[in-house]
Each structure stands twice: as C-alpha cells, then as structure tokens.
C-alpha cells in the first residue's frame, strides 16, 4: 500500500500556528482553530426554517496571518460546503473576510473586529451588494453561537441563519 504525499499547494497554504509577531491579535479568530460540531438553523426563501447538523473546521493558513474555515452541512445540499478566509490586517487591526460557496453560488466580503463583549462582529455585503452582519457570541473554549443577519429593504437587520457549535 502506498501513501499519497501531501499536496504541495496545501503545504504552502497551511500554517502550524499564528504569526508570532501578531499572535495575540490573531487569537480573536485563532481560538476557533479546530473541529466543531454544529446545529444549524437556516431560513429559506419561502420563510420556513430548516435545521441540520454539520461540521465546521478552522485552521491556520498563509504564514499564520489567516484563519480559514470550511463549513459542511450535508443536509443542505444546495447550500454547502463553503469556506471563509479571515486575514488579519496588521495596518488597521481589522480582519478582512471573504466567504464563498460555489454551489449556490454565494459570496460575502466583510470586515471583522471584536464586539466588545468577548465575541466578534463581521459587517459587509453579499454579491448583490446587500448589507450583511455576522456575529460570534458566547465564545468559550468548547462552544460558540454564530448568527447571520441580512439587511431588509428598510435597512433593518433580520436573522437568516443561526448555528450553535461545540468543539470535538
């Protein structure tokens, strides 16, 4: 039996940990590195809520200045998997964030920062230019809550997805 050698691109992409020059700031999202079980609740176009179990994996990438994740929820065949790339911008102290899910297709560009209560807030737009807000709250070493909000035509934010995660 032969063992397949690691993909050279993935070797360049992955990192063993945070960039030591910015390790403290990088732990805002770095504390999520690992594998999480998720309970996912998502509102579909017709307004009905659906639930599904899934998996969310976070890891270090690109010299330890990026936290990348892959979200997989097999019961939402047309919605997942997807990936988020969160790059810490050393010049601004903010996080530049991109989410993509090619099967939908879906694309979000956001800026992330601490929320002042131990969590994170990300704000930006989707591919159609609609405002979005995603939050990580109740963050502990073993669990967190994620919520996704989209702007309604009147400008208010409305919940469209919620996930509860527990560390494996």
Express the helix, strand and coil content of the chain in percent, nearest 5 each: 10, 55, 35
Quick check: is 3 in a domain?
A: no
Quick check: is 111 in a domain?
A: yes
Give the domain extent around 87: 12-167
13 burial (CB, 10 Å; 0-12 / 13-18 / 19+) is middle
| pLDDT(78) > 60 | no
Quick check: is 90 in a domain?
A: yes
Residue identified by tokens 């017709």 is 46
Quick check: is 72 in a domain?
A: yes
Quick check: is 46 in a domain?
A: yes
Residue identified by tokens 């929820």 is 73
Quick check: is 7 in a domain?
A: no
CATH of the domain at 125: 2.40.128.20
Q: What is the pLDDT of residues 2-59, one digit of tens each?
A: 566 678 888 888 999 999 999 999 999 999 999 999 999 988 777 889 898 999 999 9
- Per-residue pLDDT at 7: 86
Quick check: is 2 in a domain?
A: no
Residue identified by tokens 């297709």 is 105
Total domains present in the chain: 1
Confidence category of residue 103, pLDDT binned at 50, 70, 90: confident
Instruction: For residue 105, say if its preceding peptide bond is cis, omega within 30 degrees of 0.
Output: yes
- Per-residue pLDDT at 77: 52
Residue 86 tokens, joined: 């969160």
State the average pLDDT over residues 85-106: 92
CB-CB contact of 167 with 142 (8 Å): yes
Quick check: is 44 in a domain?
A: yes
């Amino acid at each position: 039996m032969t063992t397949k050698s690691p993909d050279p691109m993935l070797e360049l992409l992955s990192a063993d940990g945070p960039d030591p020059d910015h390790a403290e700031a990088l732990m805002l999202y770095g504390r999520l590195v690992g594998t999480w079980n998720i309970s996912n609740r998502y509102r579909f176009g017709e307004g009905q809520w659906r639930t599904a179990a899934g998996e969310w994996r976070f890891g270090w990438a690109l010299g330890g200045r990026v936290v990348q994740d892959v979200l997989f929820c097999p019961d939402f065949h047309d919605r997942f998997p997807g990936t988020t790339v969160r790059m810490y911008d050393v010049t601004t102290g903010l996080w530049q964030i991109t989410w993509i899910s090619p099967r939908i297709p879906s694309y979000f560009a956001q800026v992330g920062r601490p929320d002042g209560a131990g969590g994170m807030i990300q704000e930006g737009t989707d591919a159609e230019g609609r405002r979005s807000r995603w939050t990580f709250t109740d963050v502990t070493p073993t669990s967190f809550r994620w919520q996704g909000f989209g702007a309604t035509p009147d400008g208010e934010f409305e919940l469209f997805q919620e996930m509860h995660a527990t560390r494996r």
